[in-house]
Amino acid sequence: MSLTVAIDDEYIKAAAIASFKASLAAAENSVRVAQNEYTTAKQKLEDASNLVNAFKSLLAGVDATPEVADQDESAPTEESDEEQTHLPSKKRRLGGIDAATLQQLEEAGEARTSDELVALVANAYSEPISPKSVKNALGEFVKSGKVIKQYSKSNQAYYYSISSWISTEANTEENEQQKQEDDLDLGF
């Protein structure tokens, strides 16, 4: 009788240990899955944040004057070169973009293809940004009217300019500044 009880106890003990090991393995696997999901979500959040910051800097700091030869006359026209080259200096600053990139942008002029804009944004940040994501975001900015898309007949390519959105804000600022100066001149 005692032998039977001892065998039953060993069987129950072994079964419990096996069950515990299986539960432990399942729990460890769940932890690994959760860690992978967290890492992926964190990377996606960082990429999205970098992309948003890049475009905020680009749109808040560049006054663009498209200079495209033989531009299609039916393409939308922007303000004159004189108006756009005298925009307030703070509108020309790129918050997250380094000075070298800013200098390169100003020397090259602000009419850019989508690929050039992608490179400009991607090169301005140490964190990698997917060119596809940048292009998709650029398309959204075109739809929102913050980026103007114009067709160059000579180069058979579309150029992207943020001149409309930036110059509107800059001109508003200039008008307010001019009004303050006029008020001072008039003794107000």
pLDDT (tens, 9 = 90+) of the chain, 188 residues, equals 455 555 677 778 888 888 888 888 889 999 999 988 888 888 877 777 777 776 766 665 544 434 443 444 444 444 434 333 333 333 333 334 445 554 555 455 444 555 666 565 555 444 455 556 556 656 665 565 555 555 555 555 555 554 433 444 444 455 566 666 655 555 54
Predicted pLDDT at 72: 45
pLDDT the model gives residue 41? 84
Q: List the alpha helices (DSSP H) in 62-98.
A: 81-84
- CA 89 – CA 106 distance, rounded (Å): 12
Strands 157-161 and 148-152: antiparallel
> What does the alpha-carbon distance between residue 104 and residue 101 come to, in Å, rounded to a whole number?
5
Cα end-to-end distance, the chain, whole Å: 112
* pLDDT computed for residue 123 by the predictor: 55
Structure tokens at 178: 């001019």
Instruction: Report the pLDDT value the prediction gives residue 44, as an integer from 0 to 100.
Output: 78
pLDDT value of position 179 = 60
93, exposed or middle or buried, with CB in 10 Å at 0-12, 13-18, 19+?
middle
Residue 166 near residue 90 (C-beta atoms within 8 A): no
